[in-house]
Amino acid sequence: MRRFLTLPDVAEALNISLSQTRALIKTGDVEGIQIGGRGQWRVEESKLDEYIERQYAAQRASRATAAPAAQPASPAQDEAGSARS
């Protein structure tokens, strides 16, 4: 059986505000559905998990493509890169 979360549940799970949660749904970053006559939003738990996994993947990809930090020269080398005597 599918488990649906309210927007406050999603906000709590992500540790963000309710307005930030609504923005994630409005932009389609988190997939939600409107139910009932008042159009209350619900997010399937698995859709929230997918969003979190996408965020982890994006962060890993960002780290992998970031330029590596410059390596400091070892004390045994001068600025030209030759060994000191």
Q: Phi and psi (nearest 5°) for 70?
A: -65, 135
Domain boundaries, the chain: 4-65
4-65 CATH choice from 1.10.275.10, 1.20.1050.10, 1.10.3720.10, 1.10.1660.10: 1.10.1660.10
Please say whether the beta carbons of 51 and 24 come within 8 A. Answer: yes
Q: Phi and psi (nearest 5°) for 25?
A: -75, -45
26/43 Cα distance (integer angstroms):
12
What pLDDT was estimated at residue 28?
97
- pLDDT higher than 70, residue 73: no
Q: Phi and psi (nearest 5°) for 61?
A: -65, -40
What pLDDT was estimated at residue 26?
96
Q: Whole-model pTM?
A: 0.71
Digit-coded pLDDT (tens) for 12-70:
999 999 999 999 999 999 999 999 888 899 999 999 999 999 999 999 998 888 756 65
pLDDT band at residue 10 under the 50/70/90 scheme: very high
Q: What strand order describes the sheet that includes 4-6?
A: 4-6, 40-44, 33-35
